[in-house]
Structure 1
Amino acid sequence: MLTIDEIQLPIKEHLKRFEKTFKDSMRSSVPLLDKITRYIIKQKGKQMRPMFVFFSAGVCGGITEATYHGASLVELLHTASLVHDDVVDNANERRGFFSINALWKNKVAVLVGDFLLSQGLLLSVKHKEFDILRIVSEAVQQMSEGELLQIEKARHLDIKESIYFEVIRKKTASLIASCCACGASSAGADEETVEKLRLFGEKVGIAFQIKDDLFDFGLDDVGKPVGNDIKEKKMTLPLIHALSTVDKSQKRKIINLVKNHNEDPEKVAEVINFVKINGGMEYATEKMMQYQQEAFDILAEIPNGGEYKTGLEQLVKYTTERKK
């Protein structure tokens, strides 16, 4: 499998320029805010979202000035959502760094998240890129609905597979879908092509989330605490499927462990073992590969694309083959 650095090669220079646009869009005249945004920039991840934007633009005719703005808007939105998520989850760490709320408390973290979101919206308004603004605003709506749907359903701990897919489509996949649609729109693609790239991104996003769910059951040594989703009472695909294969009494027993004994390492290990024994891992992997293939099929419908299409294909493979 190629590394992220190798996949980035065709757009390396574009990503360097994007970083400057992104940093400029976070500037403020308030010293505290500037201090916090500089701290955020230090926590640079793999840049997968900007990569989806640039590769999608390349496939649809070429990278333009609007592509840089679209990538910055998506990354500002994503960063704002992470800052807010850490407040909601009372999380103290993010990518090995202390979270904003851990260092500056919840009130400051919420306001910083609001600032980042508003900066992204203003960036689009300033350049009159209203199609990109609409695409990303719809993603914000979907992400919020997905989070609330998950909170609502988590109370019952007995959700159907269809609800699980609705949650991750809204909560996770909508952002990657917006990246691909932004890229296509920024390159001047027609509505049909923009929608194809949006749907492509949605399929990739769902596969990406299933991979994350698999990590929680000890798929690989990824540095993520095994059983963390169980401790947080999150019903993910491997567990949902495993529960569907057993009788009511065993199902009640496992749900009770998740609900009432989720802090006990032995009980969490029992749930993980239950999932493995009852085919949860295999089923989730099969579903993940199905969504990957659907993404490839959509991409194949778009003519040409050259190295940019290859880059998207490699990114899709990375989402399902990554080790963390």
Structure 2
Amino acid sequence: MKIVSQIREPIEEEMELFEEKFLKSMSSKVALFNRITYYIVNRKGKQMRPMFVFLTAKLLNGKVNDRTYTGASIIELIHTASLVHDDVVDDSNKRRGFFSINALWKNKIAVLVGDFLFSKGLLVSLENKDYDLLHIISNAVRDMSEGELLQIEKARLLDITEEVYYDIIRQKTATLIAACCSMGACSVKPDSDEVETFRKFGELCGMAFQIKDDLFDYGAEKIGKPTGIDIKEQKMTLPLIYALNHSDKERKKWLINSIKNHNKNKKRVKEVISYVKEKGGLDYAVTKMLEFKDEALAILDNYPDSEYKSALTLMVNYVVDRKK
């Protein structure tokens, strides 16, 4: 967490004020909902997404404004809503080592909490007539939903090409980080080229972030034993796609059969992981991840040195170097 503290340091004051504003933005007249949001806020993660918003704004403007806080609140509300819904969809009982909302309060309440948070995110943007910020987040929510559905559709047939895989992770994961950075830029420099530049910057960071997550499934880079969770859930990750594309007909048939029909068999999952490693799937995924990282850093190179640029550079490197 030391690196996260370093990233946060130039925006420490803004993050503390943001946390106060964020808690207020989640308030409800319903006591049950306030109890649940209190539980959510006290188990918050690293808050990388709001940090992207503030660091981008300060890189471009040297300071933030009320719109920047609005943008960060919108992002965090929508992100939190999507996590609550994801746990229901994935039937997951844990989130960041704690019980998920659906585990404690059941699916019906979790879905309603997610819906409430989504609506709060949209309402926050409307309170001050920040229609440009609303447009950014609405596009992101649409892309996230389409990305999830595309992944489900393709997983049934296991016919994901590398190009389709990038489409899925661009929509499913990268679009929200892209929204963070374009939101930060839009809050201080609306209608400028910077809004699109930093949308692209965030998208590249998000692509690298998701490929790093793919690698965790194979126990890559000293993060412990292979988990094989993605294989068990029939998710087509980049290392697996590479291995499929570089296998003969028989091996391809064995791989697809393993994922479709033997994904709960621990021995078979281990064999798949070993085979993907042997075929160079992990090395290829690392290479692609670093390409996205370098493209993101190249965008930052166009801006003068500052503590905010240094923090964003650290953030980009952290995305690919993190251990969990």
TM-score, normalising length: structure 1? 0.97
Give, in whole Å, the separation in 2 of the partners of 1:146 and 1:221.
30
CA contact (8 A) 2:218 2:226 kept: no
Q: Which residue number corresponds to residue 300 of structure 1?
A: 301
Q: Are the equivalent residues in 2 in contact too, given 1:2–1:318 (CA < 8 A)?
A: no
Counterpart amino acid of 2:54? Answer: F
Instruction: Report how far residue 26 of structure 1 moved.
Output: 0.5
Q: Which amino acid aligns with 1:39?
A: Y
**What runs of 5+ residues in structure 1 fail to find an aligned partner?**
none
Map of 2:183 onto structure 1: 182
* Structure 1 equivalent of residue 37 of structure 2: 37
Which of the pair has the greater relative contact order for Cα pairs under 8 Å at 6+ separation? 1
Distance 2:43 2:286 in 1: 30
Distance in 1 separating the partners of 2:138 and 2:209: 22
Question: Shift of residue 191 of structure 1?
Answer: 2.9
Measure the CA separation in 1 of the matches of 2:15 and 2:4: 12
Provide the residue aligned with 1:22 in structure 2: 22
Query: Can you list the C-alpha shifts for 1:173-196, whole angstroms capped at 9, x where unaligned?
Result: 000000000000111254311000
Provide the rounded CA distance (Å) in 1 between the counterparts of 2:169 and 2:50.
20
- Bigger mean CA offset, 75-84 vs 183-192: 183-192
Question: Match for residue 154 of structure 1?
Answer: 155
Aligned to 2:49: 49
Q: Secondary structure at the match of 1:217?
A: coil
- What is the distance in 2 between the residues matched to 1:224 and 1:217? 8
Identity %, equivalent residues: 57
User: What is the deviation of 1:242?
Assistant: 1.1
Partner of 1:313: 313
CA deviation digits over 1:191-241, x for unaligned, max 9? 311000000000000000000000110114547971000010001000100
Paired residue secondary structure (1:3): helix
Q: Which residue of 1 aligns with 2:256?
A: 255
1:305 Cα deviation from its structure 2 partner: 5.7
Paired positions, count: 323
Counterparts of residues 213-252 of structure 1 (less than 5 Å): 213-220=214-221, 222=223, 226-252=227-253
Partner of 1:83: helix, strand, or coil?
helix
Per-residue CA distance 1:121-172 (angstroms, 9 max, x = gap): 1111001111111101110000000000000000011310001000000000
Quote the Cα distance in structure 2 between the aligned partners of 1:195 and 1:23.
Answer: 30
2:201/2:296 contact within 8 Å kept: yes
**Separation in 1, partners of 2:297, 2:190:** 19
**Structure 2 Cα separation of the partners of residues 311 and 187 of structure 1:** 19
1:40-83, Cα deviation, whole Å (9 max, x unpaired): 11111011001100000011113111111100100000000000
Structure 2 contact 220–226 (Cα < 8 Å) conserved:
no
Q: Superposition pairs for residues 19-98 of structure 1, below 5 Å?
A: 19-61=19-61, 62-98=63-99
Relative distance call for 1:11 and 1:22 in structure 2 (3 A) is same
Q: Distance between the aligned counterparts of 1:305 and 1:3, measured in 2?
A: 19
CA distance in structure 1 between the partners assigned to 2:56 and 2:2 by the alignment: 19
Secondary structure of 1:246 counterpart: coil
Residues in 1 aligned to 2:182 and 2:74: alpha-carbon distance in whole angstroms: 13
1:204 alignment partner in structure 2: 205
Question: Residue 14 and residue 203 in structure 1: after superposition, are their counterparts in 2 closer, same or farther (change >3 A)?
Answer: same
RMSD: 1.4
Q: Which residue of 2 aligns with 1:271?
A: 272
Given that residues 65 and 188 in structure 2 are in contact (C-alpha distance below 8 angstroms), is that contact kept between their aligned partners in structure 1? yes
